[in-house]
Amino acid sequence: MNGNGILEIIAAIFIFGGGVLSVLSALGLMRFPDIYTRNHAGTKSTTLAVLVTLTGVFMYFWIAEGYISVRLILGILFVFITAPTAGHIIVRAAYRSGVKVSDSTVEDELGPMLRKKEGEREGES
């Protein structure tokens, strides 16, 4: 086995690892109690999975075909910009429209702040 073969296997391991991470985060999506914790599993582990998979694909193209794919790097970049924005907006919208946090939640410092602001607005009108 030559050096390229070994590197190809490493790339394959990266891609496989990305797949496993995706499966695990899908599992987390089903198991966690409320939308906020599900959001952790859904958006976050998936970003890592995408990162690992695309890195593996990038390595494979580089080794096997001697071709540096800029598009894959741009893909990673854009996933990294959009995924947290979407996660933040989903959680924020959910909290503002009154989705309950799960019973196991131990502390909540945001609720009192929002309720206070609501009270102020009602007091003005």
Q: Between 1 and 70, whose beta carbon lies closer to other proteins?
A: 70
70 binds other proteins (CB under 8 A): no
Q: Between 24 and 57, whose beta carbon lies closer to other proteins?
A: 24
Burial of 79 per CB tally in 10 Å (0-12, 13-18, 19+) = middle
Name residues whose C-beta falls within 8 Å of residue 51's C-beta, 6 or more positions apart in sequence.
18, 76, 79, 80
**Contacting other proteins (CB under 8 A), which of 24, 57, 63, 76?**
24
- Rounded CA-CA distance 90/21 in Å is 22
Longest dimension (CA), the chain: 77
47 binds other proteins (CB under 8 A): yes
Q: Between 27 and 74, whose beta carbon lies closer to other proteins?
A: 27
- Which among 10-18, 57-65, 68-76, 88-96 is the span making contact with other proteins, rule CB under 8 A? 88-96
